[in-house]
């Protein structure tokens, strides 16, 4: 099984790439939020910016407007699904 087979796997892969290349994107900030748990799963996550939750919400507010709250929650649910599935597969 590859990451891309897991729910949100492509998004996590994109976020890791963005973090490694210094891009502050929604996927990068999402991975930063999940960094402690992802690291426990053996996924190397680069050191990240402070307060990724607030930074992600601010980014979404700029790009999504009134839908920021819904989009934020959807991304968090996707991250948790990835983490739970990865834990089960380990």
- Under the banding of pLDDT at 50, 70 and 90, the label for residue 29 is very high
**3-state SS, residue 90:** coil
Domain boundaries, the chain: 3-89
CA atoms of 66 and 13, how far apart (whole Å): 27
pTM of the complete model: 0.93
Residue of 6, 62, 5, 67 whose CA lies nearest to 29: 62
From 69, 71, 73, 27, select the one nearest 48 (Cα to Cα). 27
State pLDDT tens for residues 32-64.
999 999 999 999 999 887 999 999 999 999 999
Residue 23, token pair as written in the block: 């891009």
Could you tell me which residues come within 8 angstroms of residue 40 by beta carbon, excluding any fewer than 6 positions away? Answer: none
């Amino acid at each position: 099984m590859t990451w891309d087979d897991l729910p949100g796997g492509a998004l996590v892969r994109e976020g890791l790439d963005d973090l490694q290349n210094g891009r502050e994107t929604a996927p990068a900030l999402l991975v930063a939020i999940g960094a402690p748990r992802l690291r426990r799963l053996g996924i190397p996550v680069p050191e990240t910016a402070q307060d990724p939750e607030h930074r992600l919400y601010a980014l979404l507010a700029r790009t999504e407007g009134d839908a920021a709250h819904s989009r934020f929650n959807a991304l968090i649910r996707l991250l948790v699904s990835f983490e739970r599935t990865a834990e089960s597969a380990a």
